[in-house]
Amino acid sequence: MPEQTSEATVIFVNHLLACYPNQPILLIWDRASWHKGDTMRRLLKEHPRLEVVHFPPACPDLNPQEQVWSRARAAVSHNHVYSDFARLKTVFLEYLSNTLFPFA
In order, the DSSP letters of the chain are -----HHHHHHHHHHHHHHSTTS-EEEEE---GGGSSHHHHHHHHH-TTEEEEEPPTT-GGG-HHHHHHHHHIIIIITT---SSHHHHHHHHHHHHHH------
Per-residue pLDDT tens over the stretch 47-60: 999 999 988 877 77
State pTM to two decimals.
0.63
Same domain, 46 and 26: yes
Same domain, 49 and 70: no
Same domain, 48 and 72: no
Same domain, 49 and 76: no
Per-residue pLDDT tens over the stretch 24-38: 999 988 888 888 889
pLDDT at 2: 62
Same domain, 12 and 39: yes
